[in-house]
Amino acid sequence: MNFSTFMSFVSYLKDGISLGAVYAIIALGYTMVYGIAKMLNFAHGDVIMVGAYISLTMMTKTGAPPVVALLVAIVGCTLLGVTIEFVAYRPLRKASSPLAVLITAIGVSYLLQNLALKIFGAGPESIRDEQKIISGSPVVLFNGQLAISRITILIVICIIIIMCALTWFVNRTRRGHAMLAVSEDRDAAQLMGVNVNGTISLTFAIGSALAAVAGVLLFSAYPSLTPYTGSMPGIKAFVAAVFGGIGSIPGAMIGGILLGIIENLAKAYIPSGSQVSDAIVFAVLIFVLLIRPAGLFGKNIQEKV
Amino acid sequence: MNKTEEYQNEILKKIKNKERLNIAITYVMVIAIYAIVQGLVTTGNISNLLKGILVPTCVYVIAAISLNLVVGFSGELSLGHAGFMCIGAFTSGFFSKAVGDGLPDGFRFFLAIVIGALFAGIVGMLIGIPVLRLKGDYLAIVTLAFGEIIKNLLNVVYMGLDSRGIHFSTKSSMDLGLESGGKKIIEGALGISKIPKNSTFTIGVILVLVTLFIVQNLIHSRAGRAIMSTRDNRIAAESIGIPVTRFKLMAFTVSAALAGMAGALYAHNIGKLNTSKFDYNMSILVLVFVVLGGIGNIRGSILAAIILTALPEMLRGLSDYRMLIYAVLLIAMMLFNWAPAALAFRERVREKLPFGRKKKEVE
């Protein structure tokens, strides 16, 4: 392998990490909600889409700078997430089948998509360069052999910060301990005086705020936004969360990044790869689950009588 | 025979009779709906739009009944049902187009349905063997993954037929190297076009009845009780010697084959097929029918599939708002049917109504 083919490999790897880091941010939201509320929140992907639309609207309608738009998107999505949980999921928490809340989540997903369709229309929205969260020429290394765009660097910095903050929050604060307790045994936690409803709301708030961040980053890196933009990254992030062991925070991060790398390398090196890259991602997931049925970092709990 | 045994036999007989009645009601309901709709069609009292969704409704009813077998009776969440429909649709479509006018229409369509079901069943079994070792949400995500894999791989399949046999390529239809006069059949993402349109509403209803017959007989057989026991308590079922995986695999395979049948019906309805229709949204739609109709309730699946397929067409007058209303109705119906608070409220209302049914106390 000569230097330039190696550099093109590194370049694909870098794109994979960038995409994977976005998946990881989304997957963190999925995995926390799953760990604590024990539900698959199928509407999570659509919260990403809403976040991107909010930031875009802020910038085009009020001319706010990207950072302000991002903050508004975070606040908007947090409120949205908590509202969804309160209206649609909380009444079903003690339903006789866990499938009930799953279908309701699908209903919420349809609702968000169609609301966006009604308000913003179907056409793909684009973004001007100065509206991106970060702009400017890419950082060039090795005499121009490798160009790293600024958004890639920002995404990677974001995921590291989010990761550290979440780990600190869950392991070092009272609220975080409450989350761990609720995810371990909801009833026991309630008996010990943990506010279960409040903890679940908080989880949804954090997950949705992360979704807003992911939405803005995703839209800056891949500037095409439709009401259905969120659903595929949502599914991929779900896969990433399962890949790393659903419920595990480091698992979601590693899973997301690995997923992004696999997807990008498959696109680059496999014949007709861009069409089958999703199939390859899913095949790797199945392979991992067959060897480690609880994901890479998941705890395998043996069921007892 | 002593007194207790007699008493037990009597109770068993009663249960059996009730079961038979229940099954009969389902058949009668399907036939009654068919008669009413057919009556409306012949008297011309039905709009063209609704006429257009008659066969798709049958497709969804079959898919919902078959998915209920896995979700309701085997107790596993499957999110890849559209994948099996996709296999059934493509294999049957391929067959019909490859044979062309070589066989009489009716017989060819019959064979196409059998082939679609067979292939989907085989793929279902092959997928089921590794997948059914997993549990719960992991099983759900893997079935979703398989559904997407099937769809993605079919997107790069090119197949054609000429006098030398079947040609296959993954690049483009030019790479097939067909002789002049050869037929391109599957064209990658474009799928299959010009499949003979053999599906009619009557055939659809017959297939619904066939599905009902297979599923009802299965769940009321010894194997069916074994399948339900693995759902209710896997460990208890294992401990009395029921081979759990084998019975789950059986339910999964039968369900996949029936989904393949639904796919074949679908393929021969519009005559044009591509994979994008069979994405995970389709799987989820079918799951919505099952859960809304009541998990493990076959009659509910049928009604939910009919209502939810007709609903968007009924709402068409509201144009842009129809999918919005559909989503809101879906959430509202789920809350009304499943939330413990709503159920308690319904119970209270029912008790106050003088003519309302009182819920029988279970001993």
Which residue of chain B is at minimal alpha-carbon distance from A279? B149
Between CA B41 and CA B53 the distance in angstroms is: 12
For chain B, say whether A121 makes contact (Cβ under 8 Å): no
* Inter-chain CB proximity A283 and B140 less than 8 Å: no
Residue B352 domain-assigned (yes or no) = no
- Mean pLDDT is lowest, of A137-141, A178-182, A221-225, B211-215, for A137-141
On the question of pLDDT at B357 being above 60, the answer is no
Q: Which domain holds residue B326?
A: 18-342
Q: What is the pLDDT of residue A79?
A: 95
Q: Tell me the C-alpha to C-alpha distance, in Å, between residue B147 and each of B127, B132, B241.
A: 10, 15, 32
In angstroms, the separation between the Cα of residue B97 and the nearest Cα of chain A is: 25
On the question of pLDDT at B362 being above 50, the answer is no
Q: What is the pLDDT of residue B330?
A: 83
* Inter-chain CB proximity A275 and B321 less than 8 Å: no
Confidence of residue B213 (pLDDT cuts 50, 70, 90): very high
Of A34, A110, A278, the CB nearest to B323: A110
Residue A224 domain-assigned (yes or no) = yes
- Mean pLDDT is lowest, of A94-103, B109-118, B278-287, for A94-103
Q: State mean pLDDT over A7-28.
A: 89
Q: What is the pLDDT of residue A140?
A: 76
**For residue B168, what is the enclosing H or E element?**
strand B165-169
Between CA B83 and CA A199 the distance in angstroms is: 38
* Inter-chain CB proximity B334 and A92 less than 8 Å: yes
For chain A, say whether B335 makes contact (Cβ under 8 Å): yes
Of A107, A271, A305, the CB nearest to B331: A107
* Closest to B149 in 3D by CA, of A276, A240, A234: A276
Question: What is the crossing angle of helices A231-244 and B136-154, to 10°?
Answer: 130
Q: State mean pLDDT over B33-54.
A: 84
Beta strands in chain B (DSSP E): 158-162, 165-169, 183-187
In angstroms, the separation between the Cα of residue B211 and the nearest Cα of chain A is: 24
Which residue of chain A is at minimal alpha-carbon distance from B294? A100
pLDDT tens digit sequence for B149-167: 888 888 888 888 877 777 7
Q: State mean pLDDT over B38-56.
A: 83
Q: Count A/B contacts: CB-CB distance under 8 Å.
A: 135
For chain B, say whether A119 makes contact (Cβ under 8 Å): no
For chain B, say whether A303 makes contact (Cβ under 8 Å): yes
Interface test with B, best of A228, A231, A286, A291 (most B CBs within 10 A): A286
On the question of pLDDT at B62 being above 80, the answer is yes
* Inter-chain CB proximity B130 and A286 less than 8 Å: yes
Confidence of residue A109 (pLDDT cuts 50, 70, 90): very high
* Closest to B266 in 3D by CA, of B122, B100, B119, B53: B53
Q: Which domain holds residue A213?
A: 20-228
Interface subset of A 66-85, CB within 8 angstroms of B: none
Confidence of residue B254 (pLDDT cuts 50, 70, 90): very high
In angstroms, the separation between the Cα of residue A53 and the nearest Cα of chain B is: 18
- Mean pLDDT is lowest, of A212-216, B49-53, B286-290, for B49-53
- Mean pLDDT is lowest, of A88-92, A165-169, B24-28, B277-281, for B277-281
For chain B, say whether A284 makes contact (Cβ under 8 Å): no
On the question of pLDDT at A105 being above 50, the answer is yes
Between CA A211 and CA A151 the distance in angstroms is: 17
For chain B, say whether A111 makes contact (Cβ under 8 Å): yes
- Spatial contact of A42 and A227, defined as CB atoms under 8 Å apart: no
Indicate the number of domains in chain A: 1
* Inter-chain CB proximity B149 and A293 less than 8 Å: no
Q: What is the pLDDT of residue B70?
A: 92
Residue B299 domain-assigned (yes or no) = yes
pLDDT tens digit sequence for A249-303: 888 899 999 999 999 988 888 777 677 888 888 888 888 888 887 777 776 666 5
Question: What is the crossing angle of helices B298-314 and B280-293, to 10°?
Answer: 120
Residue A270 domain-assigned (yes or no) = no
Q: What is the pLDDT of residue A121?
A: 83
* Inter-chain CB proximity B334 and A103 less than 8 Å: yes
pLDDT tens digit sequence for A46-78: 999 999 999 989 888 887 888 899 999 999 999
The CATH number given to whatever domain includes residue B185 is: 1.10.3470
**For residue B256, what is the enclosing H or E element?**
helix B244-270
On the question of pLDDT at B78 being above 80, the answer is yes
Between CA B140 and CA B135 the distance in angstroms is: 8
For chain A, say whether B330 makes contact (Cβ under 8 Å): yes
pLDDT tens digit sequence for B107-158: 889 999 999 999 999 999 999 888 887 777 778 888 888 888 888 888 888 8
Instruction: Give B130's contacts in chain A (Cβ within 8 Å).
Output: 286, 290
In angstroms, the separation between the Cα of residue B140 and the nearest Cα of chain A is: 10
Q: What is the pLDDT of residue B335?
A: 87
Q: Which of A6-15, A204-213, B318-327, B347-356 ranks highest by mean pLDDT? A: A204-213
Q: What is the pLDDT of residue B361?
A: 45
Between CA A252 and CA B126 the distance in angstroms is: 29
- Spatial contact of B319 and B94, defined as CB atoms under 8 Å apart: no
For chain A, say whether B287 makes contact (Cβ under 8 Å): yes
Residue A197 burial class via C-beta count within 10 angstroms: exposed 0-12, middle 13-18, buried 19 and up: middle
Indicate the number of domains in chain B: 1
* Closest to B136 in 3D by CA, of A298, A93, A201, A72: A298
On the question of pLDDT at B168 being above 80, the answer is no
Question: What is the crossing angle of helices B136-154 and B81-99, to 10°?
Answer: 30
Q: What is the pLDDT of residue A111?
A: 92
Residue B278 domain-assigned (yes or no) = yes
* Inter-chain CB proximity A289 and B134 less than 8 Å: yes
ipTM value, please give it. 0.83
For chain B, say whether A282 makes contact (Cβ under 8 Å): yes
Interface test with B, best of A33, A99, A239, A290 (most B CBs within 10 A): A99
Residue corresponding to tokens 């989503």: B327
* Inter-chain CB proximity B291 and A114 less than 8 Å: no
Residue B131 domain-assigned (yes or no) = yes
